[in-house]
Amino acid sequence: MSNEPVMAAALLTNAVGLHARPSVKLTQLAKSFASSVDIALDAAGPWVDAKSPVKVMRVKAAQGTTLHVRAAGPDAAAAVAAVVALIARRFDEHEADAAGAAHG
């Protein structure tokens, strides 16, 4: 088995970026894999442990940011694919959101 990390990138398109609820979803998903999973704002790093909500929030990734994802370990490819899919689904955020939204 190769120890080369698997990498990918995805654009954050949900309205308020990697904010509270998406961060929680991301870390929960990352923790479901045995591999290490990291994120970064730049392909050159610095990389941040995607299993730590405190560290993920410190990244302050806003909407329109390209998020780089890296995983290393037995299920690295699946982990990267799952994280990229979560970002592409905009973290399944559809209804009332934690943003300062107008009331209707």
Partner 1 sequence: MPPGPPMAERALAGRPASPGLAAGPVHRLPAAGGGRVPSGDPAVEAEDLRSAIGHALVAVETLMNEVGGEAADVLGFQAALLSDDELTRPAFAAVADGAPADEAWQAAMASEIAGYLAGEDEYFRARAADLEDLRDRVLDALNGGEAQATPPGAVLVAHDMPPSRFLAVDWSAGGAILLAAGSATSHVAMLARSRGVPMIVGLGFDPDDAQGEALVDGETGRVVMDPDPATVASFESRRAAAERERAAVAAILDKPAVTRDGTRVAVHLNIADPAELKAIDPAHCDGIGLVRTEFLFHGRSGLPGEEAQFGVYRMMAEWAGGRPVTIRTLDAGGDKPIPGLTLEGESNPFLGLRGLRLSLRHPEVFRVQIRALLRASAYGAVKIMLPMVTTPAELAQARGLVGQEHAALQTAGRKLGDPPLGIMVEVPAAAVAVDLFDADFFSIGSNDLTQYVTAAGRDSDAVADLADPLHPAVLRLVAGVARYGREVGRDVSLCGDAGGDPAVIPHLLRAGLRSVSVAPAALGRAKAAIAAVDLGVPA
Whole-angstrom distance, CA of residue 57 vs CA of residue 98: 15
Cβ proximity to partner 1: between 11 and 77 the closer is: 11
Of 46 and 64, the one with the shorter C-beta distance to partner 1 is 64
Given 36, 52, 75, 84, the residue binding partner 1 (CB under 8 A): 52
Work out the burial of residue 100: count CB atoms within 10 Å of its CB; fewer than 13 is exposed, 13-18 middle, 19 or more buried: exposed
When binding is defined by CB under 8 A, the residue of 32, 43, 45, 60 that contacts partner 1 is 60
Kindly state whether residue 86 participates in binding partner 1, applying the rule CB under 8 A. no
100's CB contacts (< 8 A; 6+ apart) are: none
The first and second tokens of residue 49, run together, are 């442990």
CB of 93 to partner 1, least distance (A): 7
* Residue 4 interacts with partner 1 (CB under 8 A): yes or no: no
By the rule CB under 8 A, 19 interacts with partner 1: yes
Q: Could you give the CA distance from residue 88 to residue 104 in angstroms, rounded to a whole number?
A: 27
| Residues annotated as part of the active site | 19
